[in-house]
Amino acid sequence: MLDELAQYTSHRDLLSNAVAPGRPTSAFLSPLIAPERWHLGLYLGSLRLSAPSFRHALRVTVAVLLAMFLSYAMAQTFQDDALKAIGTHGYWVVLTVIVVMKPGFALTHQRNGWRLTGTLIGCGVALVLFHLIQDTALYLAILFLFGVLGYAFIQVNYLVSALCNTVLVLTAFHLLSPGGDVVVGARFVDTLLGCAVALLCSYILPTWEVRFLPGLANELKAANIRLLKAAIALIGAPQNATDQARKSWGAAEQAVYVALSRFSASFYRMMNEPMRHQQQAVTFNHLMIQNHVLAMQVMHVVSTVESRPAAANEIKRALLEAKKLLESQDVPVVSNNKSYSMSEPHWVSDSVVPSMALQQLIDAAEAIRRDMVRSGAA
């Protein structure tokens, strides 16, 4: 094994030395995210009320202060031995607030529900386990199992992660003090209070998703323009440049998927916000659909060119027209003229590419341009 590691290290050093000094490396060999240097201006620029980071820090500060006051009040209220556990673990309120609160209102609301539901189910599972299992060795196995699951699901499914972490914590306390079911109730009460505080404080200087949707819409349009350029380059690429064109096409595809997922996630978060803050929901929804239609049609016609080269010229013409529509800064004018016949069956250049696919591609580009103007993102 050591020999294999040594060979790998020497091979890597040879590859790194093969690049001449001063010669630019390939984009595929460079890191996906360039490291940024920290500077004082970045910090000072966030110290203003309009900065989302400053508003979030202010919300969390108020929420934590309120949670600490509630924890102190609970410790002073529950002095009886039977209910002392409720006041003893008041720090769970503060912990819940810190974990639940997110910069966006919809994200806080969503995570709030996951935390509360997972804790409730976890408390029920813990009570059942405490009354069914008496063997300490089994509790150690439960600690190991739910400890692994709690951290494994923290980025995948937070509800499951909250459930597993609740069982983990309650099992640990049960091992220290068997028969103390009050701590289960204390866990749920503290989580309920923490979620209530987080939800209440999320209305303090909130950052609504509609603020970010125009910028994300521009990113999505730019990603589709990049996809169209890569498709045109791939169709017209000479034999010796095919590999580079395919790499550019693959990167453009990935960029569209990322931009579409970012835009759709922000849109659905906006739909979870109060109704008065769901501005231009119909326009943004149509914009999301048309961007998806455009990307899928471009990928469809490009895949068809490889098997049916006879349709390359017609497809390239449609791609150029769609690209021109997206790049145009003029206010779009609705036109009833169709570049292709919409009646089926009709085929372009006797290939398997229906004219409807090309017309949908162009119509989607025109609809995107029109919706960008309506939403104010253009």
How does pLDDT run across 284-303, given as a tens digit for each residue? 999 999 999 999 999 888 88
What mean pLDDT is predicted for residues 187-215? 91
333 pLDDT more than 70 = no
180 pLDDT more than 90 = no
CB-based contacts of 357-363 (< 8 A; 24+ apart in sequence): 357/297, 357/300, 357/301, 358/297, 358/301, 358/314, 358/315, 358/318, 360/293, 360/297, 361/294, 361/297, 361/298, 361/301, 361/318, 361/319, 361/322, 362/318, 362/321, 362/322, 362/325
pLDDT confidence of 304, banded at 50, 70, 90?
confident
355 pLDDT more than 80 = no
pLDDT confidence of 7, banded at 50, 70, 90?
low
Segment (H or E) for 142: helix 136-152
Q: Which residues pair with 104 in a beta bridge?
A: 207
- The least confident of 36-40, 112-116, 272-276 is 36-40
- The least confident of 19-28, 201-210, 255-264 is 19-28
167 pLDDT more than 70 = yes
More confidently predicted of 155 and 3? 155
Q: How far apart are CA 378 and CA 374, in angstroms?
A: 8
The residue type found at 253 is: E
- Where does 191-333 show beta strands of DSSP type E? none
pLDDT at position 103: 87
123 pLDDT more than 70 = yes
Spatial CA neighbour of 195 closest among 121, 302, 93: 93
% the chain with pLDDT above 70: 79
Q: How far apart are CA 116 and CA 113, in angstroms?
A: 5
pLDDT confidence of 122, banded at 50, 70, 90?
very high
18 pLDDT more than 50 = no
Q: How far apart are CA 288 and CA 269, in angstroms?
A: 14
Count the Cβ atoms, other than its own, within 10 Å of residue 76: 10
pLDDT at position 41: 74
C-alpha to C-alpha distances, 137 to 126, 142, 147, 171, 242, nearest whole angstrom: 16, 9, 15, 12, 62
36 pLDDT more than 50 = yes
pLDDT at position 4: 53
What mean pLDDT is predicted for residues 112-124? 94
pLDDT at position 14: 45
Average pLDDT, the chain: 81
80 pLDDT more than 60 = yes
3 pLDDT more than 70 = no
pLDDT confidence of 78, banded at 50, 70, 90?
confident
- Tell me the pLDDT tens digit for each residue of 126-136: 999 998 888 88
pLDDT at position 84: 64
What mean pLDDT is predicted for residues 47-75? 89
Spatial CA neighbour of 85 closest among 164, 189, 171: 189
pLDDT at position 179: 64
pTM score, whole prediction: 0.69
pLDDT confidence of 44, banded at 50, 70, 90?
confident
More confidently predicted of 80 and 177? 177
Q: Which residues pair with 207 in a beta bridge?
A: 104
What mean pLDDT is predicted for residues 143-154? 93
